[in-house]
Amino acid sequence: MRQNSNIFERNVPGTTALLQKAVVGIAGCGGLGSNAAVALVRAGVGRLILADFDQVELSNLNRQYYFRDDAGRDKVDALAGHLRAINPDIKLDLHRRKLTPRDIPEIFAPAGLLIEAFDRAESKHWLIESWCRAFPRRHLICASGVSGKGATSAIKIRSSGYIHLVGDEQTDISMGLCSARVAIAANMQANIAIDILTTQKDG
């Protein structure tokens, strides 16, 4: 059997050791959060802090990293099983709860950066405010406008200081959700995180 360390033998040179020391928080384990988590674990991030209050539903399977046998399970538990199947050495902090602004400083204190993966705009707003208040010099990677299909070139990254926003900033959930478009945004969030963690001293 191949050694677990060989999972990362094709990584970009010099990134694995840095990523294995990293701690990343993910607020929400739906379409954005579950797919971003998988990308981060495949890249070699050593520890994830996952928070979500919801259970897996069959309607989630068109875009979220879950399977039919996961239906009815807490998302954080189901996702944890899939992440450990990729890398058994991954360290996971699991929080089965609906987050509030007061939770952010406590739950995500160990995280070097946070990926925002909420559905509702109002939740995104208070999360950004809470994070920036608690950790003004830590990066926050958000998403807004990932609904619909196609229009790949409309999905952009806009950064201001320590805040990074992925999406087209226009589409809303009423347009429906396509697996490919959601996964593109989630992987862009993960890619920003990987770049920060491997190149920036304050990431």
pLDDT value of position 134: 97
Residues 6+ apart with CB under 8 A from 100: none
- Give 193-203 pLDDT, tens digit per residue: 999 999 965 43
- Give 153-173 pLDDT, tens digit per residue: 989 999 999 999 999 888 777
CA distances from 9 to 15, 43, 194 (A): 11, 10, 16
Tell me how far apart the alpha carbons of residues 117 and 141 are, in angstroms, rounded to a whole number. 9
CA distances from 165 to 5, 66, 85, 124, 139 (A): 32, 25, 30, 11, 11
pLDDT value of position 201: 55
Q: How far apart are the first and last CA of the chain?
A: 35
Segments in the chain below pLDDT 70: 1-5, 200-203
DSSP string covering 40-66: HHHHT--EEEEE---B--GGGGGTSS-
* Domains, the chain, with CATH or none: 4-199 (3.40.50.720)
| Six token digits for residue 48 | 């994830």
Residues 6+ apart with CB under 8 A from 184: 146, 152, 155
| Six token digits for residue 155 | 């999905």
Q: Kindly report the pTM of this predicted structure.
A: 0.93
